[in-house]
Structure 1
Amino acid sequence: MQPDLTHVLIVEDESRLAELHAELITKHPRLQLVGTAASLASAQEQIRSKRPHLILLDNYLPDGKGISLINHPLLKEFGCSVIFITAASDMQTCSQAIRNGAFDYILKPASWKRLSYSLERFVQFRDQQRVWKVVDQKNVDSLYQLQGKNFRPETGAKGIDDNTLQRVQRLFLENPEQRYSVEEVVEESGLSKTTTRRYLEHGVESGFLQVELLYGKIGHPRRLYRKADDAGSEPQHAH
């Protein structure tokens, strides 16, 4: 028997971010991307036609705020869950999302690991809901733990290739004052966006890189990377 696929709709008007989220979803064996919407109107249309299980929802959209969608009758009708991915850091938006049952609330710029972690927990959450037709207290506690479990960034270098790591680091060592976007590192290194993002986030976690946020269009800060001031002048190795 084939495991059930979780159908995901991305609601994000910034095409660069939508592409990154789509790439992450398509690589997961239990997730299936069913559509991408750049507005509330398009999102509502696709919820009706594609009936996703999960929506990755941005808050700042051209025709309104994503938070208005979270308690829309459509979501209840089709049983859609929501992971908020937004630059909205005000408590009112966050508490409204929680009150209306958002599975998770991730602040932009969202790290590749943080979103992967949330998606994996949601897959497990759906699996347990299907297996347990009747629950006892232990089952209920397990479901709540999956929804509320804290994210703890890994400190190891799992999946990090030493040669690739040094290729990325060399770019920053040769230009220590330069700030690079993900796209600029992709162009310089020839790596895919997902791979580049993973190595950049590893660089931040290891202390080799630091992140600066450049705010342009409201709700869409750019994540720029540069060599950390206290990082050494030689490439580091994956441990």
Structure 2
Amino acid sequence: MTHSRPLDVVIVEDEPHLAGLHREYIEQNFHLRVVGIAASLEQARALISEHRPRLVLLDNYLPDGQGVELIDSPLLKSYECSVIFITAASDMETCSRAMRSGAFDYLIKPVFFQRLQASLERFMLLVNAMRQMKVVDQKALDRMFNLPAGDSASAPSTKGIEPNTLEKIKRFFSDYPETHWSVDDVVDVVGVSKTTTRRYLEYCVESGFISIEMLYGNIGHPRRLYRKCTDSGS
């Protein structure tokens, strides 16, 4: 059952384009409302204090500290607020600390929208189950806290994938198999929005047609580049 008022969300992410993509995806696909985007811990604390959101999408590496510090802070503990922790840090220590502090989920950058969707679906199911549950028993608790996170080995969803556009993207990568391309490069060729292009690129990555590589420069944030897999078909 859909509730009349969407749940408030705060996004903590210092990459503006990524924060914007997350905002667009969340509000288009879920009964959620992004009430603010923070690019630092200081801004995050201010937005959380002002809006008391039900969910925070929290990046770890921020200009004034690490987001993981916020999960265990009295500020979040004082509200009924869940955290989806999103970070480029794949070390077990950071992951373990986030989980011990009560993170609802932990996602590694670059985040695939299919994985983010699975996490948000779990969150919405949990919220709805807690609202509707009148009597608590073992089976009900098991359903609430063991909601499936999605089978990462399953085939990627074809929802929103149009065959002609997909073929155009595949043909582009097949024509230049040795070249790494950015999202903007593919947007110029295909002629669709950046959000739509990312969806197709993620589909191609998940299906094994192209691979993704993070290019780290001396200044600024890493760039996401795509290249045709050497062992993929055309």
* Structure 1, gaps ≥5 residues long: 235-239
Give 2:81's aligned residue: 80
Identity %: 54
With over 3 angstroms needed to count, the CA separation of the structure-2 counterparts of 1:219 and 1:87, relative to structure 1, is farther
Give the TM-score taking structure 1 as reference length.
0.90
Tell me the residue number matched to 1:12: 13
Letter paired with 1:113: Q
- Of residues 185-194 and 117-126 in structure 1, the stretch that sits farther from structure 2 once superposed is 185-194
Q: Is the 8 A contact 2:216 2:222 kept in 1?
A: yes
Partner residue of 1:211? 212
Is the Cα contact below 8 Å between 2:118 and 2:150 reproduced in 1?
Answer: no
Q: How many residues align?
A: 232
Report the alpha carbon displacement of residue 201 of structure 1 after superposing the two structures with TM.
1.4
> Is 1:21 the counterpart of 2:22 in the alignment?
yes
1:44-103 CA distance string (max 9 Å, x none): 000011111000000000011001100111112221110001011111111111111100
The Cα of 1:210 is off from its aligned counterpart by 1.5
Amino acid at match of 2:209: F
Question: CA distance change for structure 1 residues 151 and 47 in 2, over 3 Å: closer, same or farther?
Answer: farther
Q: Which residue of 2 aligns with 1:170?
A: 171
Distance (Å, rounded) in 1 between the aligned partners of 2:107 and 2:218: 19
Alpha-carbon distance, 1:231 to partner = 2.6
Distance 1:140 1:7 in 2: 25
CA shift at 1:32, angstroms? 1.1
Offset of residue 42 of structure 1: 0.4
TM-score of the aligned structures, taking structure 2 as reference length: 0.91
Q: Which residue of 2 aligns with 1:46?
A: 47
Counterpart residue number, 1:149: 149
Q: Is contact 2:119–2:149 with CA below 8 Å preserved after alignment?
A: no
How far apart are residue 144 of structure 1 and its match?
1.3
8 Å CA contact 1:57–1:82 kept in 2: the answer is yes
* Separation in 2, partners of 1:152, 1:188: 30
SS in 2 for 1:85: strand
1:220 Cα offset (Å): 4.8
Distance 2:70 2:149 in 1: 25
Q: Which moved more, 1:213-222 or 1:69-78?
A: 213-222
Does the 8 Å contact 1:6/1:123 carry over to 2?
Answer: no
| Higher mean C-alpha deviation, range 194-203 or range 53-62 | 194-203
Instruction: Describe the shift of the 1:36–1:228 C-alpha distance in structure 2 as closer, same or farther (beyond 3 A).
Output: same
> Could you say which structure has the greater relative contact order, defined with CA pairs below 8 angstroms and 6 or more residues apart?
1
Within 5 Å, give how 1:160-239 maps onto structure 2: 160-216=161-217, 220-232=221-233, 234=234
Question: Which segment drifts farther, 182-191 or 74-83?
Answer: 182-191
With over 3 angstroms needed to count, the CA separation of the structure-2 counterparts of 1:2 and 1:114, relative to structure 1, is: closer
Give the partner amino acid of 2:155. Answer: T
- Provide the residue aligned with 1:116 in structure 2: 117
Q: Which moved more, 1:6-15 or 1:198-207?
A: 198-207
Q: CA deviation at 1:39?
A: 0.4
